[in-house]
Amino acid sequence: MSRALYIGRFQPFHNGHLHAVKWILEREDELVLGIGSAQYSHTWRNPFTVGERYLMIWQTLKAEGLLNRVLITAIPDTDTRHSTWVSVVKTYSPPFDSAYTNDPLSRLLFREAGIKVYSIPFYERDKYEATLIRKLIAEGKDEWKKLVPPPVAHILVKIGGVDRLKEIYRYSR
Amino acid sequence: MSRALYIGRFQPFHNGHLHAVKWILEREDELVLGIGSAQYSHTWRNPFTVGERYLMIWQTLKAEGLLNRVLITAIPDTDTRHSTWVSVVKTYSPPFDSAYTNDPLSRLLFREAGIKVYSIPFYERDKYEATLIRKLIAEGKDEWKKLVPPPVAHILVKIGGVDRLKEIYRYSR
Amino acid sequence: MSRALYIGRFQPFHNGHLHAVKWILEREDELVLGIGSAQYSHTWRNPFTVGERYLMIWQTLKAEGLLNRVLITAIPDTDTRHSTWVSVVKTYSPPFDSAYTNDPLSRLLFREAGIKVYSIPFYERDKYEATLIRKLIAEGKDEWKKLVPPPVAHILVKIGGVDRLKEIYRYSR
Amino acid sequence: MSRALYIGRFQPFHNGHLHAVKWILEREDELVLGIGSAQYSHTWRNPFTVGERYLMIWQTLKAEGLLNRVLITAIPDTDTRHSTWVSVVKTYSPPFDSAYTNDPLSRLLFREAGIKVYSIPFYERDKYEATLIRKLIAEGKDEWKKLVPPPVAHILVKIGGVDRLKEIYRYSR
Amino acid sequence: MSRALYIGRFQPFHNGHLHAVKWILEREDELVLGIGSAQYSHTWRNPFTVGERYLMIWQTLKAEGLLNRVLITAIPDTDTRHSTWVSVVKTYSPPFDSAYTNDPLSRLLFREAGIKVYSIPFYERDKYEATLIRKLIAEGKDEWKKLVPPPVAHILVKIGGVDRLKEIYRYSR
Amino acid sequence: MSRALYIGRFQPFHNGHLHAVKWILEREDELVLGIGSAQYSHTWRNPFTVGERYLMIWQTLKAEGLLNRVLITAIPDTDTRHSTWVSVVKTYSPPFDSAYTNDPLSRLLFREAGIKVYSIPFYERDKYEATLIRKLIAEGKDEWKKLVPPPVAHILVKIGGVDRLKEIYRYSR
């Protein structure tokens, strides 16, 4: 029985992320999906709260029938106290054997802590990239809805996420 | 569609807690199970990390077939900055309509924030009480295994939880 | 022109506190009234938020015609990082020449920082003592209303402070 | 009886701010003037401590005869934990019915928390803008003294604020 | 080449601690002496700042000719976030191979992190016990001076430590 | 007997820093070498933990025979809460009479706190500059080894510092 950690900010969770979840589940029995930078929200880089992101991901995995293999959990950030970050990850995550992430700092910190790290092959990265999707939403271009799983689009609209992104986009540029 | 929050420390998750989950699910469509005091561990009152508690609960709900109705999430504590606690709960939890808890301070804070709060009927409280169960574990009395769901007992033993509790018990008295 | 600091928790502000304010104003031109432990609330020791305490004090000083000599400000606590507390006080308070307080730890910290500290003579301490007044409120004994300035009684009732104290009292004993 | 919150950083408090205070007081009975980013100082963006800003504002309102309608209070920042900011504001501020601010993020957060937000008409914004005034001070151009209320100029000079700004300006560019 | 960590609060550093240092140096090449609970001071349990404790220890090791084998460093506490404590120790301490401590919680946390832990034989514990020594100082009994290395007694008196302890003792009982 | 504080980030400690230590020791009896920004690491600006920096400095001072005149200590940063920084320095450092630093903000804060501040003459600054040395390491140019004391080069290599810097450099540009 293997259990791996897949960590990201998921702002928002898009088809590329879902593709990665399925790709990892071909290699591992169970997956801890760690929602990073948990305490941040309402910025251009991190517009959604961890609770909102959790709901988007949970509804998606439910629709995909994956809830009995994926454990969704919040991982708070340590700001620039990076040397303690892995211990915070280990506190908030159920025990895991290895980590999947493409973030270079996370990779460095996991490796220095003796944890095996794997890369995730990007899936049509020109389309499925969170910053790009946030930009489409903020600019009122509806094509973003095809880039995220249907439950993500549904919840994002319902919680007022489109208006929030438009507002943040206006003054963050 | 209703979604309620059920918050507790679950140190550890026992049959009384599982009974409460089922009782709430008779009244609500979905349940956010919030693991409180998330950042604490290795004390007599909070021996297990939030990640360890998450795994115990997830395995139990999986065995019970409840994962598609229950969302498990970590809720950090605000120490004695109680006036901001509800906003932290709202940050870490998916949106919810009402809260179930018997903790008097949580009840007070939710009520002052305009959130509907319900009590949970205790289920054989003389047997199913976390402090009592921790004491049985620490004193090496195996009857504790009948008071928690089988996956909880399995994981608690596997992660070294029995030894940890015995050690903490020795010097905390 | 002299300006002194008078620091306390004011849970709640009572006639003894008002007496102290007037006594200090006989000796000093201006007074900074620092509301300590600003970030705490909803406990037996600190039931009211700093904002609620501010309003009770402001309305009292307005009724007494003292607002043009007293500056009310919040002073957050540093938990047990006591060696930095004076620098936090100096950050949150307008500049002051000396400090009035009977709290032994505050006196020690001010003195070690080279700040002149004065004691405040107690005014009928058997009657005017915040812990005692909270107890009277929690036990539903209306005589507490004669122990605090009328605006304090009015606001305390209006913000639901009586119910909050009764609730906290019930489970804190 | 209405009480509104007017929040800003007031680095420093200038004639535009005073104009806004008077404009709001035409619409509201009482005003909570919240000094934001309270814990920061000694940077180009936030050169003055909250205590220094408090004194500048208090002396100005005293000279204007407004102390019996304005409650001055410190509001600490939550860094990028924006989802909890409104609850911190509510902790540090006396109760208020609505908020006046032109800051887009504050407007967004208040609105999402269900609080009514009003804009403030700018008053000769080309002259009365804090960044511009700090620049004039740092560059030794005395015309800044005409852009702030006399008590602000007096205190700013007295606490050594001119030298501090010159020093910070030198190495921050 | 071996380097071990010896961690304690050293409130104050006494002959028993010095004895332990020498005993460990018979077994190890180098020793990191970690001053724990670094951010606390001015309480009965932790009266001296980490800087004051550092000076007492440094002067003692200098007099003993041990400075070229012992590295003195501050270790901040994590309050009850115990699961991250070892990572904080590893951040503040130079790399070490094993740890010496008799504190049961530290032993538990080091062991769970896979770090070898050794006990230290107590040396005349009825005499050399920090709480007892603080009590003697606070009660004005000069025999405490024989229980600590001469440089500790000298510095403790010079920084006003005797008066501070007497003051804290008076109101902490 | 005089004791001065010399504060820096020492990322890494190079020949210019060692030259400064010796220059100060010609003027002062003892020196507290304060390692600033203690809690940060694994960034381009602060790649090494405070424990790693401590070891590099300690080994250098040992080789130079200076350990009986220099006290090495960690100084945590206060982020932008600058008004409390001096009190944190005073908590973590043994008592000192004056401070040596070229950092303009530190100079400002010390001066405002009434502490005497001296500048340090730069020693061949075009060669001995930490940012430049980090760049040489990251770009694999071995000449950096001549710019730092031999023990620093030895430890930096041993702890994997070259690989860490190369990795951080790659994604930080």
Would you call C83 and F87 a contact, using CB atoms and an 8 Å cutoff?
yes
What is the arithmetic mean of pLDDT over A42-53?
97
**Which of C160-164, D122-126, E151-155 shows the lowest mean pLDDT across its residues?**
D122-126
C94 to D41: CB separation less than 8 angstroms, yes or no: no
Chains in contact with D via at least 3 Cβ–Cβ pairs below 8 Å: A, B, C, F
CB contact under 8 A, C55 and D71: yes
State the pLDDT at residue F93: 98
pLDDT of C131 > 80? The answer is yes
| Residue A12 to chain B, least CA–CA distance (Å) | 15
Tokens 């300690």 appear where?
F58
Cβ of E84 within 8 Å of Cβ of A83? The answer is no
Query: Cβ of B42 and E108 within 8 Å?
Result: yes
* Chain C residues closer than 8 Å to E46 by CB: 80
- Token readout for B147 is 């008071």
The residue in chain F having the minimum alpha-carbon distance to the alpha carbon of residue C83 is F91
Cα D160 from Cα A69, distance rounded (Å): 63
pLDDT at F167: 96
State pTM to two decimals. 0.96
* 3-state SS, residue E82: helix
* Chain segment F100-139, per-residue pLDDT in tens: 999 999 999 999 999 999 999 988 888 999 999 999 999 9
User: Residue B80 pLDDT > 90, yes or no?
Assistant: no
* pLDDT band per the 50, 70, 90 thresholds, residue E91: very high
3-state secondary structure of E63: helix
- Could you give all domains of chain F from N- to C-terminal order, each with its CATH number? 3-172 (3.40.50.620)
What is the pLDDT confidence band of residue E100, given thresholds at 50, 70 and 90? very high
Q: What is the pLDDT of residue D125?
A: 83
- CA of C92: which chain F residue's CA is closest? F83
Poorest-pLDDT segment among B79-83, B91-95, C3-7? B79-83
What dihedral do alpha carbons D8, D13, D14, D20 form, nearest 10°? 40
Q: What are phi and psi of F55, to 5 degrees?
A: -65, -45
DSSP E strands in B9-46: the ranges are 30-35
Closest listed residue to residue D117, CA positions, set D94, D103, D104, D101: D101
CB contact under 8 A, C171 and B81: no
Identify the residue whose tokens are 């019915």: D97
Q: How confident is the model at residue A11 (pLDDT cuts 50, 70, 90)?
A: very high
The alpha carbon of residue A88 is apart from the nearest alpha carbon of chain E, in Å, by: 6
Structure tokens at B93: 């939890």
pLDDT band at B157 (very low <50, low <70, confident <90, very high): very high
Write out chain D in H/E/C secondary structure. Answer: CCEEEEEECCCCCCHHHHHHHHHHHCCCCEEEEEECCCCCECCCCCCCCHHHHHHHHHHHHHHCCCCCCEEEEECCCCCCEHHHHHHHHHHHCCCCCEEECCCHHHHHHHHHCCCEEECCCCCCCCCCCHHHHHHHHHCCCHHHHHCCCHHHHHHHHHCCHHHHHHHHHHHHC
- Find the chain C residues whose C-beta atoms sit closer than 8 A to any C-beta of B: 39-43, 46, 49, 160, 164, 167-168, 170-171
pLDDT for C172: 85
Residue D126 has pLDDT above 90, yes or no: no
Phi-psi category of residue A140: left, alpha or beta, with phi > 0 → left and psi -120 to 50 → alpha: left
Give percent of chain E above pLDDT 70. 99
F137 Cα to chain D: minimum distance (Å): 28
Confidence at E160, pLDDT banded by 50, 70, 90: very high
Check contact D-C (3+ Cβ pairs < 8 Å): yes
State the count of interchain CB pairs (< 8 A) between A and D: 27
At B172 the pLDDT is: 84
Contacts with B164 from chain E: Cβ below 8 Å = 108, 112
- Condensed to tens digits (0 to 9), the pLDDT of residues C70-122 reads 999 999 999 879 999 999 999 999 999 999 999 999 999 999 999 999 999 98
Token pair listed for A11: 């702002």
Would you list which residues of chain D are within 8 Å, Cβ to Cβ, of chain B? 81, 83-84, 86-88, 90-91
Question: Measuring CA to CA, which residue among D41, D25, D4, D28 is closest to residue D115?
Answer: D4
Contact B83 D86 (CB under 8 A): no
- Whether the predicted pLDDT of E80 surpasses 80: no
d(CA F156, CA F56): 8
D91 vs B83, B88, B90: nearest CB:
B83
Q: pLDDT tens, B13-46?
A: 999 999 999 999 999 999 999 999 999 999 999 9
Nearest CB to D108: which of A42, A46, A49? A42
Q: Which chains touch A (3 or more CB pairs under 8 A)?
A: B, D, E, F
Output DSSP code: residue F126.
T
Chains F and C share 3 or more Cβ pairs within 8 Å:
yes
pLDDT per residue as tens digits for the range C6-43:
999 999 999 999 999 999 999 999 999 999 999 999 99
Q: In the 8-state DSSP scheme, what is residue E2?
A: -
Pairing mode, if any, of strands E70-74 and E98-100?
A: unpaired
**Residues of D with Cβ-Cβ distance to A165 under 8 angstroms:** none
Q: Which three-class secondary structure string do you get for chain A? A: CCEEEEEECCCCCCHHHHHHHHHHHCCCCEEEEEECCCCCECCCCCCCCHHHHHHHHHHHHHHCCCCCCEEEEECCCCCCEHHHHHHHHHHHCCCCCEEECCCHHHHHHHHHCCCEEECCCCCCCCCCCHHHHHHHHHCCCHHHHHCCCHHHHHHHHHCCHHHHHHHHHHHHC
Residue C116's CB is within 10 A of a number of other CB atoms, namely: 12
- The parts of chain F modelled with pLDDT lower than 50 are none
Predicted complex: ipTM over 0.90: yes
Q: Is A87 close to E91, i.e. CB distance below 8 A?
A: no
Which is nearest to E2 in space by CA: E25, E33, E36, E34?
Answer: E25
Cβ <8 Å between B109 and C46: no
Check pLDDT > 90 for residue C126.
no
Is the CB of E87 less than 8 angstroms away from the CB of A91? no
For residue D80, pLDDT over 80 is answered with no
Query: Under a CB-based contact definition with an 8 Å cutoff, are residues A30 and A137 in contact?
Result: no
Read off the DSSP letter of residue F95: P
Residues of chain D contacting residue B91, judged by C-beta atoms under 8 Å apart: 81, 83-84
Q: Please say whether the beta carbons of A100 and A34 come within 8 A.
A: no
Chains that touch F (3 or more CB pairs under 8 A): A, C, D, E
| Tens-place pLDDT, residues D7-30 | 999 999 999 999 999 999 999 999
Within 8 A of F171 by CB-CB distance, chain A residues are 104-105
Whether the upstream peptide bond of residue F12 has omega within 30° of 0, thus cis, is yes
What's the CA angle centered on E115, arms E109 and E121, to 5 degrees?
80
